[in-house]
Amino acid sequence: MDILVTGGTVFASRYTAEYFSKRGSTVYVLNRGSKPQSKNVIPIIGDRKALGNTLKPYHFDAVIDVTAYNSEDVELLINGLESFDKYILISSSAVYPETLPQPFCETMKIGPNSIWGKYGTDKIAAENALLQRCPYAYIIRPPYLCGPMNNLYRESFVFECAEQDRPFYLPENGSMKLQFFHIGDLCRLIEKILISDVKEHLFNTGYPVPVSIKEWVSLCYSIIGKTPIFKNVEAEIAQRSYFPFYKYEYLLNVERMNNILPDLTPLNDSLKESYEWFRNNRELIIKKPLIDYIENNLA
């Protein structure tokens, strides 16, 4: 296939581009050329907000849009394309209002979420803009993505705490649940959509069983042969000041995804891959001052 991946330089978009390139597709990546490109992809240097005729010479069997954050992003990209067969938008679980009963399923009405704010409403606008222009497009709504190339300061933060033999400051009793999805499984789902006659066009994704904060941290520590010593933090202290996730527990119903992708990468294997990548790419992590806050306010 000839595939266009938007972005292609960091985490989800880069992994996606390399995944399909390794499987024999001709992969084009659309970005501004400001970061190193992957091997075996064809860069198309351009800004999706000012494409002009940049994409007009091409026909794509599939467009995998990983970097659309609002309706304008979608509209301008579609306007810039000459022709394509399938369009897949990576959206977000942030489109579900936290007031809905859980687990959230694809048939529920989406709307503003007070935790995610503008990010969520912009993703809703992006979905709506896409469906107005391409009614048969595919939309994927993942929870927290994990796995290699993750440059966000999430599991890498926990790995650093483990490497430095730090006690881990746990939000309250650590029972809050997190739902993850391995980036490789996201790509395998996209692959199923591209090569199979998939009936549904909207998919929640994620591990069917969430993991508690305490379990997740313990898994991260165990990857490097450590066992965490936990210190509980009172609820009055803002969680995001010392921990990489919001104080927000939610669960996606992923039965629809499981019908076509039942075999997922175990979370422990995903964390192993994450740590191997992190060890060799520490400089790419977008660090936040979580450890500084802990040392100055909690330790």
Residue 294 confidence (pLDDT)? 98
Q: Structural domain boundaries of the chain?
A: 2-146+182-204, 155-179+207-249+265-298
| pTM of the predicted model as reported, rounded to 2 decimal places | 0.96
CB atoms under 10 Å from CB of 224, counted, come to 14
Residue 12 confidence (pLDDT)? 98
pLDDT digits (tens, 9 = 90+) for 263-299: 999 999 999 999 999 999 999 999 999 999 999 999 9
Residue 253 confidence (pLDDT)? 98
CATH number of the domain located at residue range(s) 2-146+182-204 in this protein: 3.40.50.720
Residue 197 confidence (pLDDT)? 86
CATH number of the domain located at residue range(s) 155-179+207-249+265-298 in this protein: 3.90.25.10
- CB-side neighbour CA atoms (13 Å) of 210: 18
pLDDT in tens, the chain (299 residues): 999 999 999 999 999 999 999 999 999 999 999 999 999 999 999 999 999 999 999 999 999 999 999 999 999 999 999 999 999 999 999 999 999 999 999 999 999 999 999 999 999 999 999 999 999 999 999 999 999 999 999 999 999 999 999 999 999 999 999 999 999 999 999 999 999 989 999 999 999 999 999 999 999 999 999 999 999 999 999 999 999 999 999 999 999 999 999 999 999 999 999 999 999 999 999 999 999 999 999 99
Answer whether 2-146+182-204 and 155-179+207-249+265-298 agree in fold.
no
Residue 212 confidence (pLDDT)? 98
Residue 226 confidence (pLDDT)? 97
